[in-house]
Amino acid sequence: MDKHFIKVENLAVDYQTRQGTLRALDNISFSVAEGEFLTLVGPSGCGKSTLLRVLAGFVPIAAGSVIVKSEPVVGPHYSRGVVFQQANLYPWFTAQGNVEFGLKARKIAQQEREQMAESMLKLVGLWDFRNAFPYELSGGMQQRVSIARSLANHPEILLMDEPFSALDEFTRTQLQEEIKTIWQKQNQTIVFVTHNVDEALYLSSTIIVMASKPGRITEIVKPTFNQHESALTAREVRSLPEFLDKRNHLINLIEDAHIAAFGNERQ
pLDDT in tens, 144-157: 999 999 998 889 99
**CA–CA gap between residue 140 and residue 105 (Å, rounded):** 26
Gap between the Cα atoms of 65 and 9, Å rounded: 5
User: Do 17 and 122 belong together in one domain?
Assistant: no
Q: Are residues 245 and 179 in the same domain?
A: yes
Q: Is residue 200 part of a domain?
A: yes
Residue 160 CB partners (closer than 8 Å, separation 6+): 52, 82, 83, 179, 190, 191, 192, 193
Q: pTM of whole model > 0.85? A: yes
Q: Which range (19-28, 164-173, 186-195) has the least confidence?
A: 164-173
136 and 246 in a single domain? The answer is no
* 51: confidence class by pLDDT, cuts 50, 70, 90: very high
State the pLDDT at residue 90: 94
pLDDT at 240: 84
The CA-based diameter of the chain, rounded to the nearest angstrom, is 61
Domain that holds residue 162: 6-79+157-262
pLDDT of residue 267: 42
By mean pLDDT, which of 29-33, 106-110, 150-154, 230-234 is the weakest?
Answer: 230-234
Check whether 266 has a pLDDT greater than 60. Answer: no
pLDDT score, position 134: 95
**pLDDT value, residue 10:** 96
Are residues 172 and 124 part of one domain? no
CB contact at 8 A, 46 and 217: no
Q: Are residues 165 and 43 in the same domain?
A: yes
* Helical segments of the chain, H only: 48-56, 95-105, 110-123, 139-152, 169-186, 197-203, 225-228, 234-237, 241-262
In a domain, 29, yes or no: yes
SS3 108: coil
Question: Which CATH number covers residue 35?
Answer: 3.40.50.300
pLDDT band with cut points at 50, 70 and 90 for residue 38: very high
**Do 165 and 41 belong together in one domain?**
yes
One domain, residues 44 and 143: no
**pLDDT confidence tier of residue 243, bands split at 50, 70 and 90:** confident
* pLDDT tier, 49 (very low <50, low <70, confident <90, very high otherwise): very high
In this structure, the answer to whether residues 13 and 59 fall within a common structural domain is: yes
Residue 170, pLDDT score: 87
Question: Residue 104 above 70 pLDDT?
Answer: yes
1 in a structural domain: no
164 shares a domain with 66:
yes
Bridge partners for 160 per DSSP: 83, 192
Whole-angstrom distance, CA of residue 11 vs CA of residue 247: 28
Together in a domain, 168 and 127:
no
Q: Which of 114, 129, 154 is the last residue of a domain?
A: 154
pLDDT of 98 strictly over 60 = yes
Residues 51 and 175 grouped into a single domain: yes
- pLDDT recorded at residue 80: 92
Q: How many structural domains does the chain have?
A: 2
Same domain flag for 177 and 250: yes
Q: Quick one: pLDDT at residue 230?
A: 59
